[in-house]
Structures are given as C-alpha cells and as structure tokens.
C-alpha cells in the first residue's frame, strides 16, 4: 500500500471520483434532455464546465501545496465567516448581491454566477480547525475543547440563520472525528455528545416547522407509524391524535391532522417518489437514460438532491452499491493518506476533508432512501451544482497535496499521548 503513496501516490484518490462524475453527468443529461435527443443539455454542459473548473482548481492547489495555503487558514476562515455574515445581515439590510429564494438566503450573486458561501465554509472550517489543532496539547483537557467547539459553533450559528439545516449538521461529525483523530480524550467527547443530546429538545423547538416535519418524516414514511399516531391516546382523551404531541405552535390542529392524513402528498411527497424510483430500479435497473423517472418529471430535484434515486432507478442496486463503494474508497484512500502523513496539520486536513465528503454522501444517500431527513445536501461529485463540485475538487486537491507534499522532515512519528491511550 505504501508504495502507492510515494511522491505521486495521492492521485489515486481520483480513481473512485471519476465514475461518480461520469454517473452524475450521464444522469443529468438523461433527465434534462428527454425532449432534445442528440444534444447536450444546458445543465450537462454546465456540469462538465464546473467539473473542469474544479479539476483546474484542484491542480492549482496541488501545485501550490497545502502547507502554503495552510498558513492562511485563519484568514480563509475569517473571510468565509464574513461572507456568511453578509447573508445574515441581509435579513435586516437588503444587500443587492444576496438573492432570496423560498425565504432562505444561501447564495451570493457574483456576476452571472451564484455561489454558495456555506460550501466554501466547509473547507475553510476544516483548515481552520486543523491549523488550530496541529501542535496543541491542551485539547486533552475538557476546557481545551472550548476553542475548537467555538470554531464550529460560529459558522453553524450563521448557517442556522440562512437557514440550511443539512449543511449545518455536517460540521458536528467533522468536528468530533477530527478531535478524536487528533487525540482528544474519548470520555470528554462522550461527555459533550451526552450534553448535546440533552440539549437537543431545545434545538428541536428552535428550528422551523417544515424542518421538524422533515425530521419526523423519517418515521412517518412507515404506514403503521402513521396509523398509530393518528389514533387517539387512551390516557389523553382531549387530544384527537397522538400526533398532536409533535404539533408546532404555528400549525392549527386541523392543519396538523391533515398533514398526517395527507403525508404522502405533502411532506412525504419527494421521499415517496424517491423510494418508488429506487424500488422500480430493481436489481439491474432500467438501463442508462431509460425508465419512467428519466422520461417524466415525477421526482422534483431528481438531477440534484435526489440524484441517488435516479442512479438506483437507472442502474439498479448494482449501481447503488458501486456508488457506495466509490465513497468507501474515497474514505479509505483519504484516511490512508492521513495515516501515512506524519505532519499533524496535513493529516488533520486529510481526515477532516475526507470525513466531510463521506458525511455529505451518507446524509444525501440516507435522505434518498428514507433513512434520514430530507435536506439540501448534494451528493458529492454527482449532483448538479457548481459551488459544491468546485469546492469538493478543491478539497480533493488539498488531500492529494497532503499526500504529495508531506515534509520529509518528520521522519519520526509525531509526539502522541500513547501512555494515556488505555484510559479511552
């Protein structure tokens, strides 16, 4: 294995990325060009262009080297925070370059392009976190965990105000994995997780009603659960249904009952359709560019957030498992690069970015198959979307750069708290 990661070995991480990119482009072309055969759809052209731009950025980053970029980690983090803050400021002062879509502020208008600052934030956050953690030893104490958590909570707070729940929740697993990998005490992290879980009811009350609905959708997709919730509770005869417990105060009682009764056509609409698209793919799928869901627009956002359903629809369970395998390989290669790197900043960057990609993929796939709430997190390298594609390739560039540019200076293993390991 280690021979692969000699000077040029980092490029191998592109091996699982290319099939994902191809699958994405094929699906985007199939779903957008059904009425103009033989021509590339505009969305396809855009995706290819963004892919090329992303690869260009990746090569640029590899050329520059992650260490040189790493010096500007805090500055990048600060800039990203400022840009995110712009979106928040727009709530009170209307800024011309912030478009409002469906009552959310997630994009910046730069010329003809729309960029998503929260995508940039993900990478800047990993860099900032890794830069903070590279030599420190005080995160071994509980109090020492406060600065890294602040690094996560500030962007999370800003993203909460956009609002973009899916992106927001990506920061926590990255934080925990990076902290754990860096050597934070397991019991400290466990204590924080327990505290977080205890605070989660508070978090529940602070999110929008539609976000609550999306979270409850995970259990509501089961008809038995819906039937159970729609029955009155024996101990509380004043409530018409058990479902009443979940009612946000913004919703009237009748609206809430309708929501449950009509779940498949309202909140559960996309999920229901997504499961049909996947399920009708079967073992081998309907074939590339074929199938009911490719020809007809039955699934909203099918080329975007729900592209995994289209992969399963076209290429069956084989396509789905291969997609999973690709992400698995990205994780394996990314972590392998981290393991082989002795330089603490580099290896934390590799771990953080790999985890970021992996959790995006898991969040998106779980959403499409009904194991997680519906969020706007795209499937990395597959979903149509410029910002996400370019940023993901930049993340790849950083990981490759870690593999190529690790300083030979560190021939010994860096200082580690081997002695306290047993306590974890």
Site of interaction with other proteins (CB under 8 A): 35-36, 42, 101, 177, 180-183, 257-258, 261-262, 275-283, 292-293, 296, 298, 312, 316-317, 320-321, 324, 328, 331-332, 335, 338-339, 347, 351, 355, 358, 362, 365-366, 369-371, 416-418, 421
110: helix, strand or coil: strand
Q: How many CB atoms lie within 10 A of CB 399?
A: 29
In the complex with other proteins, the residue whose CB is nearer, 36 or 63, is: 36
CB closer to other proteins, 215 vs 331: 331
Using the structure block, give the residue that is written with the tokens 């709430």. 373
**CB-wise, 17 or 358, nearer to other proteins?**
358
Q: Which token pair is 288?
A: 């590339």
Our separate counts of H helices and E strands in the chain read: 16, 2
**Residue 35 beta carbon to other proteins: minimum distance, rounded to whole angstroms:** 6
Q: 80 or 241: whose CB is closer to other proteins?
A: 241
Least Å distance between CB 184 and other proteins? 10
The string over 229-267, giving b where at least 16 C-beta atoms fall within 10 Å of a residue's C-beta and e elsewhere, is beeeeeeeeeebbbbbebbeeebeeeebbebbeebeeeb
Whole-number minimum distance, CB 377 to other proteins, in Å?
A: 14
What's the rounded Cα separation, in Å, for the pair 388 and 376?
11
Based on CB atoms, which residue is closest to other proteins, 59 or 250? 250
> C-beta of 125: minimal distance to other proteins in Å?
18
109 DSSP β-pair partners: 114
User: Phi then psi for 114, rounded to 5 degrees?
Assistant: -115, 125
Nearer to other proteins, 246 or 263 (CB): 263
Q: How far apart are the first and last CA of the chain?
A: 29
Q: Which residue has the tokens 């309202």?
A: 266
Quick one: CA dihedral 42, 45, 46, 47, positive or negative? positive
What minimum distance in Å lies between the beta carbon of 233 and other proteins? Answer: 18
Q: How far is the CB of 262 from other proteins (least distance, A)?
A: 5
């Amino acid at each position: 294995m280690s021979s692969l990661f000699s000077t040029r070995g980092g490029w191998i991480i592109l091996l699982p990325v290319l099939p994902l990119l191809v699958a994405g482009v094929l699906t985007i072309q199939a779903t957008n060009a059904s009425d103009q055969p033989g021509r590339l759809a505009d969305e396809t052209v855009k995706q290819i262009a963004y892919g090329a731009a992303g690869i260009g950025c990746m090569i640029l980053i590899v050329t520059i080297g992650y260490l040189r970029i790493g010096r500007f980690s805090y500055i990048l983090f600060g800039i990203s925070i400022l840009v995110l803050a712009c979106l928040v400021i727009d709530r009170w002062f209307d800024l011309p370059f912030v478009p409002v879509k469906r009552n959310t502020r997630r994009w910046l208008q730069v010329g003809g392009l729309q960029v998503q600052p929260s995508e940039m934030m993900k990478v800047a956050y990993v860099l900032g976190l890794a830069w903070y953690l590279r030599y420190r030893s005080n995160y071994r104490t509980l109090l020492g965990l406060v600065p890294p958590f602040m690094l996560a909570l500030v962007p999370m707070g800003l993203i909460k105000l956009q609002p973009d729940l899916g992106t927001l929740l990506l920061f926590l697993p990255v934080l925990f994995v990076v902290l754990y990998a860096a050597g934070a005490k397991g019991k400290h992290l466990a204590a924080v997780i327990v505290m977080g879980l205890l605070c989660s009811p508070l978090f529940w009350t602070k999110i929008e009603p539609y976000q609550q609905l999306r979270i409850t959708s995970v259990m509501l997709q089961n008809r038995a659960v819906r039937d159970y919730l729609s029955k009155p509770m024996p101990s509380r005869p004043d409530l018409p249904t058990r479902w009443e417990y979940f009612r946000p105060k913004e919703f009237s009682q009748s609206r809430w009952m309708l929501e449950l009764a009509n779940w498949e056509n309202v909140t559960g609409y996309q999920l229901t359709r997504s499961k049909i698209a996947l399920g009708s793919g079967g073992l081998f799928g309907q074939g590339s560019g074929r199938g009911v869901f490719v020809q007809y627009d039955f699934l909203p956002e099918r080329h975007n957030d729900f592209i995994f359903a289209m992969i399963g629809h076209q290429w069956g369970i084989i396509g789905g498992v291969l997609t999973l395998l690709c992400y698995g390989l990205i994780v394996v290669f990314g972590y392998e690069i981290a393991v082989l790197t002795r330089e603490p900043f580099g290896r934390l960057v590799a771990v953080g970015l790999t985890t970021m990609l992996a959790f995006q993929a898991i969040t998106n796939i779980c959403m499409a198959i009904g194991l997680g709430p519906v969020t706007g997190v795209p499937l990395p390298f597959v979903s149509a979307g410029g910002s996400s594609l370019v940023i993901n390739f930049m993340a790849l560039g950083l990981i490759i750069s870690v593999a190529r540019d690790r300083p030979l200076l560190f021939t010994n293993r860096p200082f580690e708290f081997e002695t306290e390991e047993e306590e974890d």
